[in-house]
Amino acid sequence: MYKRLFPGLLILAALVIGSVAIAIEPDGRVAFRFLWPDRKDGDPDAPRLRLTMTAVTQLADVHLVAMIPSGVGISVRDGAAGGSWPTDGLAIGDLAAGKTFVVEFDIAKPPQGGGIVSFILEATSEGRAVREGVGVPVGVPGTEPTLRNGAVEFPASSPDPAP
C-alpha cells in the first residue's frame, strides 16, 4: 500500500507546486478602470465616461491613443485637453509608480448598434516599450441578430473585423 501512496503524493505535490507557479503571473504595468458615473438604472445611455489609469511601475513618455469604431463620437471633457479627441492621441507625460491619472470623456453613442472603444497606453519603463490597453463597450456592440421562425440567428461572419 505504501509503495503506491508515495508516487501518488509526489504527483499531487508536483501539481500543487505547478498550479501555484501559474497563479502568480504579473498583472502588467498599468491598472485600468472605467466607469459611467452618470449611469442610472433607467438610463443606460449615460454620455460621460471616466477612465482611470494607475501606474504600477515608473512610466515615461506616456501617451494615450484610442481606436474608435465608426458611429461612436468621443471628446475629452474639460481638464486634460478639452475638446475633440486628438488624432495623434493624448500626451500625458511621466507617471510615477502608484500615481493615478484620470480622464473624462463625452461619448456620443450611435443610435443603433455600437462598438468597442480601445484605449491604449504607450510608454517606456526601464528602457522597455510598454503598450497596454482596455476595451470599453459603447452602445450595443456586435451584430444584430435575425429572428427567423422563432429562433435568433447570428451571421457566421461580419464584414467589419471589430465587433
3-state helix/strand/coil string of 80-147: CCCEECCCCCEEEEEECCCCEEEEEEEEECCCCCEEEEEEEEEEEECCEEEEEEEEEEEECCCCCCEE
The one-letter amino acid at 97: A
Could you tell me if 16 and 29 are in contact, meaning their C-beta atoms sit under 8 angstroms apart?
no
Show the domains of the chain with their CATH numbers.
27-142 (2.60.40.1230)
Kindly report, residue by residue over 129-141, the tens digit of the pLDDT.
999 999 988 887 7
44 vs 49, more confident: 49
**How much is the pLDDT for 36?**
86
Query: What pLDDT, in 10s, does the model give residues 46-75?
Result: 688 999 999 999 999 999 999 988 888 888
List, in order, residues 6 or more apart from 150 with CB less than 8 Å away: none
pLDDT of residue 134: 92
pLDDT on residue 59: 94
Whole-angstrom distance, CA of residue 106 vs CA of residue 137: 14
pLDDT given for residue 19 in this prediction: 53
Q: Which residues sit opposite 35 in a β-bridge? A: 50
Q: What confidence tens digit (pLDDT) does each residue in 94-105 have?
A: 999 999 999 999
Q: Record the cell numbers describing residue 103, joined without a space.
A: 480622464
Confidence band for 37, pLDDT divided at 50, 70 and 90: confident
Averaged pLDDT, 111-138? 89
Please list the residues that pair with 148 across neighbouring strands. 151
